[in-house]
Amino acid sequence: MCGVDIVLQRPGPGELPFFDHSLRCLFDLLTVDKFLRLFTCFLLEHQILLCSKTLSRLMIVAESLCALAFPFRWQLTYVPILPYSQLKFMEAPVPYIMGLCYEDVIPEQIFQAYIAALSRLMIVAESLCALAFPFRWQLTYVPILPYSQLKFMEAPVPYIMGLCYEDVIPEQIFQSNVCVLDIDTGELDMPEDVPMLPDRTEFAREVASVLIRFEDHLLENEEDIVKKREVGVIGTRRKEEWSSKRMSRSFDDEVISGI
Average pLDDT over residues 64-81: 88
- Which letter does DSSP use for residue 97 in this model? E
Helices 32-43/55-68 angle, 10° precision: 70
Alpha-carbon 226 to chain mean position: 29
Average pLDDT over residues 212-235: 67
Residue 124, Cβ neighbours under 10 Å: how many? 14
Q: How confident is the model at residue 110 (pLDDT cuts 50, 70, 90)?
A: low
pLDDT of residue 242 exceeding 50: no
Average pLDDT over residues 75-89: 82
Which carries the bigger pLDDT value, residue 148 or residue 211? Answer: 211
**What is the rounded average pLDDT for all residues in the chain?**
76
- Residue pair 20/66 in contact (Cβ under 8 Å)? The answer is no
Average pLDDT over residues 92-113: 72
pLDDT confidence of residue 258: 41
Would you call 252 helix, strand, or coil by DSSP?
Answer: helix
d(CA 229, CA 236): 10
User: What is the pTM (predicted TM-score) of this model?
Assistant: 0.45
- Residue pair 181/124 in contact (Cβ under 8 Å)? The answer is yes
Q: How confident is the model at residue 249 (pLDDT cuts 50, 70, 90)?
A: very low
Summarize pLDDT for 179-200 with one digit per residue, the tens.
888 887 788 888 777 888 788 8
Instruction: Give me the phi and psi of 255, to 5 degrees please.
Output: -65, -45
pLDDT confidence of residue 187: 81
pLDDT of residue 161 exceeding 70: yes
- Residue pair 99/58 in contact (Cβ under 8 Å)? The answer is yes
d(CA 70, CA 47): 20
d(CA 47, CA 74): 12
